[in-house]
């Protein structure tokens, strides 16, 4: 059996796909890159914005054509599967499964092969323990440590598609970290929609800070990352660990979403602009040379030019290392969808989006100047489309250089020779001996 995968959305979805791949490979399936060569196609979907939905339905159309021509079993999972359920089945998929059902995707395929067409949303997340099969390659892996989200920001569909917060036990996560390190993994990113809530539900003192400390002691692990922090949940203990532990990356992804308190309140974010700025200040005073990145939504219902200008001034004030900008997209069932008209026009959303993009480009160009002429230690990641190799430093800055594929996973020192608003470019001055890397 040959299986083709297509994944949309966030790192959590990417990671769920790796589990499905590992599970199916263990059952004798071969993973192929082209749906034309496949017997089964599994699509892992995203519902965060309308655009993600449209992309999926376009893809489904393509897959249905292949199905008609030569036969193809189509399974659809992920967040949009949770949201649209029967609609996806009606369009012609063979089975539709939930965000908590992927651990039994092998059984679902078996059922579908017998000719059954069905919806499946049972919760099998407890099956996912440290030695659950998964596809491991390269030198970096994601590890989801907390499922779901309890925040219910008014615009966001994630709490509806991923359910309530639930942490994995720390000893289980640590066993997984050890297993991955033994397979040659050197960098791990701990994932959660609200990763700093990790452990709260376990009520045994587990916290993200403690997990980072313990994981950093695992032999072979060189760097640890975590995503995404909810600003008002970042603890002093966590900041302390980021500041002191040399293996923990010096970066915080702290989505602000909007710079105006009026909009933040309508978004049901539980902090004010001032509190956010104080948090940034605190982090910067404790963690040397820390990089801070964020997410922003433009065109939230009722966002006036004045509100938007507060976002602009916040971006200028904080000087983020990266900003992911999104145009507000109403999501059925959410509070904002129920309460507010999507009253900022498309043109205006595009204008605000472009405005922030340009502003941020200028900030990036300026911040990146600090790297000019410096020699920076990276872990080599992969070959880019440009043909150059690249990797990132401990602040998450991407640096490209001329090198070989054999360098992947090794430490390298790169002297920065060219600075842009995007990646940096440089020349290799040192590379770690391959024997040091398993």
**Are the C-beta atoms of 176 and 211 separated by less than 8 Å?**
no
Q: Which is nearer to ligand SAH, 120 or 142 (CB)?
A: 142
Q: Stretches 146-154, 166-174, 235-243, 317-325: which one binds ligand SF4 (CB under 6 A)? A: 146-154
Instruction: Give the distance from CA 49 to its chain's centroid.
Output: 15
Burial class (CB in 10 A: 0-12, 13-18, 19+), 388: middle
Residue ranges that bind ligand F3S, judged by CB under 6 A = 9-10, 12-13, 46-48, 78-79, 157-158, 161-162
Q: Residue 256 interacts with ligand SF4 (CB under 6 A)?
A: no
Whether a cis peptide bond, with omega within 30° of 0, leads into 228 is yes
Which of the listed partners (ligand SF4, ligand F3S, ligand SAH, none) does 159 bind, with a CB threshold of 5 to 8 Å by partner kind? ligand SF4
* Structure token digits, residue 184: 């040659």
Provide CB contacts within 8 A for 362, sequence distance 6+.
421
| Binds ligand SF4 by CB under 6 A, chosen from 167, 193, 260, 291 | 193
Nearest approach in angstroms of CB 214 to ligand SF4 is 25
- Bridge partners, residue 291, by sequence: 251
| 160 vs 355, beta carbon nearer ligand F3S | 160
**Nearest-approach distance from CB 158 to ligand F3S, in angstroms:** 5
The SS3 call for residue 53 is helix
SS3 state of residue 416? strand
Cβ pair 44, 7 in contact under 8 A = yes
Q: Report d(CA 151, CA 90) in Å as an integer.
A: 32
Length of the chain counted residue by residue: 438
- Residue 312 binds: one of ligand SAH, ligand SF4, ligand F3S, none (C-beta under 5 to 8 A by kind): none
Compute the distance between CA of residue 95 and CA of residue 99 in angstroms, rounded to an integer. 13
Supply the minimum distance, in Å, between the C-beta of residue 295 and ligand SF4. 8
Q: If we measure between CA atoms, which residue out of 70, 75, 65, 67 comes closest to residue 110? A: 75
Considering the complex, what minimum distance in angstroms separates the CB of residue 230 from ligand SF4? Answer: 5
Among 8, 97, 147, 155, binds ligand SAH (CB under 6 A): 155
Distance, CA of 330 to CA of 156 (rounded, Å): 9
The answer to the question of residue 149 lying near ligand SF4 (CB under 6 A) is: yes
Is 100 a binder of ligand SAH (CB under 6 A)? no
Residue 333: CA count within 13 A, CB half-sphere: 13
Query: For the window 229-258, what string marks contact with ligand SAH as x by the rule CB under 6 A?
Result: -x------------------------x-x-
Q: Measured from the CB of residue 72, what is the shortest distance to ligand SAH in angstroms?
A: 31
Of 41 and 153, the one with the shorter C-beta distance to ligand SF4 is: 153
List residues near ligand SF4 by CB under 6 A. Answer: 149, 151-153, 156, 158-159, 193-194, 230
List residues near ligand SAH by CB under 6 A. Answer: 48-49, 155-156, 158, 193-194, 228, 230, 255, 257, 295, 297, 326, 328-329, 331
């Amino acid at each position: 059996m040959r299986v083709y995968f297509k994944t949309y959305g966030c790192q959590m979805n990417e990671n769920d796909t790796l589990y499905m791949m590992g599970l199916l490979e263990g059952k004798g399936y071969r993973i192929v890159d082209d749906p034309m060569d496949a017997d089964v196609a599994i699509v892992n979907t995203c519902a965060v914005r309308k655009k993600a939905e449209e992309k999926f339905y376009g893809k489904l159309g393509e897959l249905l054509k292949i199905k008609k021509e030569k036969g193809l079993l189509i399974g659809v999972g992920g967040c949009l599967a949770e949201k649209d359920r029967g609609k996806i089945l009606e369009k012609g998929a063979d089975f539709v499964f939930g965000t908590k059902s992927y651990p039994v995707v092998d059984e679902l395929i078996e059922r579908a092969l017998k000719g059954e067409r069905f919806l499946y949303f049972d919760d099998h997340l407890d099956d996912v323990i440290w030695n659950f099969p998964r596809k491991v390659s390269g030198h970096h892996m994601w590890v989801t440590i907390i499922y779901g989200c309890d925040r219910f920001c008014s615009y966001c569909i994630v709490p509806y598609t991923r359910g309530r917060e639930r942490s994995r036990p720390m000893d289980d996560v640590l066993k997984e970290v050890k297993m991955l390190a033994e397979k040659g993994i050197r960098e791990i990113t701990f994932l959660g929609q609200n990763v700093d809530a990790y452990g709260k539900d376990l009520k045994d003192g587990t916290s993200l800070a403690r997990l980072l400390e313990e994981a950093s002691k695992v032999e072979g692990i060189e760097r640890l990352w975590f995503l995404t922090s909810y600003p008002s949940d970042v603890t002093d203990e966590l900041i302390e660990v980021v500041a002191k532990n040399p293996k923990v990356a010096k970066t915080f992804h702290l989505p602000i979403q909007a710079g105006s308190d009026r909009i933040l309140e309508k978004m049901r974010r539980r902090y004010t602009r001032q509190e956010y700025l104080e948090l940034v200040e605190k982090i910067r005073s404790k963690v040397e040379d820390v990089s801070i990145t964020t997410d922003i939504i433009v065109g939230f219902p009722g966002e006036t030019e004045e509100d938007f200008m507060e976002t602009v001034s916040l971006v200028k004030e904080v000087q983020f290392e990266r900003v992911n900008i999104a145009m507000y997209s109403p999501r059925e069932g959410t509070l904002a969808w129920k309460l507010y008209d999507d009253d900022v026009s498309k043109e205006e959303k595009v204008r605000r989006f472009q405005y922030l993009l340009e502003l941020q480009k200028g900030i990036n160009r300026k911040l990146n100047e600090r790297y000019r002429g410096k020699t920076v230690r990276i872990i080599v990641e992969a070959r880019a489309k440009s043909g150059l190799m690249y990797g990132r430093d401990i602040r998450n800055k991407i640096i490209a250089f001329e090198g070989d594929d054999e360098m992947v996973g090794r430490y390298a020192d790169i002297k920065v020779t060219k600075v842009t608003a995007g990646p940096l470019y440089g020349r290799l001055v040192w590379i770690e001996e391959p024997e040091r890397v398993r």
